[in-house]
Amino acid sequence: MDVFGLIGTPVEHSLSPPMHEAAYEQLGMDARYVTFEPPANAAATAIESAETLGVSGLNVTIPFKQDALDAVVPDPLAERIGAVNTVGFTGGTVRGYNTDAVGAVRALREHDVSLDGTAVVVGAGGAGRAVAFGLADEGMAVRIANRTVERAHELAEAVPDATGHGLDDLTALCRDADVLVNCTSVGMEKDVSPVPAEALHADLAVLDAVYSPLDTRLLQDARKMEATTVDGAWMLLYQGVEAFERWTGATAPVDAMNEALRTRL
């Protein structure tokens, strides 16, 4: 039996186990997906122990994404982002990847969004970093807006063809933008949006990384303006799909994984 898993704290409510186990069942794989909660500052020990025990692959979530970088050989994208959320044990080398960037890109492409022109990324934290690099690598000009302007400028210096801004600039930034991605937690606990409704327009594609609730105020406002909308479960799905395919070399059963994910949201 192949064992895959997730390290993080907390992980008891993670949606990764049902999503990945649906894939194993669909493909007839003898595999299981389990969760682990190592002590704080124990990312390296947890990854080393997983390799020793013969675990086939790990996902990594808060608070270990940055610490995991020092315990693996990161691919170039993970190294630039500065965080690892997927670990593979192959050929005696522990390799690290960041599939959040690919998850956002694949979620947008699934909805026929053209990744040309200008993207506005709201938030300069972990998800914002991944999405900014992912869209820049697709050739988009990236405008990063963050509550703390200094963090937006710092990230923009690392991302090709990017600029940093404060949240007060969002209306002007969105006016000519093609893609908008919310990478903050705004909208998760309160029915509010990080972007003024008047900033949205019909030529915009809007991805909200928040998936609880699934239909956020930002997406509701965007639909009213006839913008293309993509909920956060699509990004969650495709980061998992990318991890599955890296671990197994098999084509992920996306429909089965998507159904398992959405039945639990």
| pLDDT tens per residue across span 9-60 | 999 999 999 999 999 999 999 999 999 999 989 999 999 999 999 999 999 9
pLDDT number for residue 23: 98
Stretch 72-88: mean pLDDT: 97
Sign of CA dihedral 147, 152, 154, 158: positive
Tell me the residue type at 31: A
pLDDT number for residue 152: 98
Read out DSSP for 1-22? Answer: -EEEEEE-SS-TT-SHHHHHHH
pTM of the full predicted structure?
Answer: 0.95
Task: With a cut of 90, say whether residue 90 has pLDDT above it.
Answer: no
Cα 52 → chain centroid: 28
Q: How far apart are CA 118 and CA 129, in angstroms?
A: 16
In the residue annotation, 224 being an active-site residue is answered as no
Stretch 67-88: mean pLDDT: 96
Tell me the residue type at 83: A
Nearest 10 degrees: CA dihedral of 50, 83, 20, 57? -30
Name the DSSP class of 195.
S
Catalytic residue among 20, 65, 106, 165: 65
pLDDT, tens only, 184-224: 999 999 999 999 999 999 999 999 999 999 999 999 999 99
Residue 255, both tokens? 């429909």
Task: With a cut of 90, say whether residue 84 has pLDDT above it.
Answer: yes
| Domains of the chain, start order | 2-98+234-262 (3.40.50.10860), 101-230 (3.40.50.720)
Q: How far apart are CA 58 and CA 141, in angstroms?
A: 32
Percent of the chain with pLDDT over 90: 98
Stretch 80-87: mean pLDDT: 97
pLDDT number for residue 92: 85
Indicate the pLDDT class of residue 137, thresholds 50, 70 and 90: very high
Q: Give the relative orientation of helices 100-110 and 126-137 as an angle to the nearest 10 degrees.
A: 60
**Cα angle 39, 42, 45; round to 5:** 125
Tell me the residue type at 151: R
Q: How far apart are CA 31 and CA 23, in angstroms?
A: 10
Read out DSSP for 72-119? Answer: SEE-HHHHHHT---EEEEETTEEEEE--HHHHHHHHHHHTT----SEE
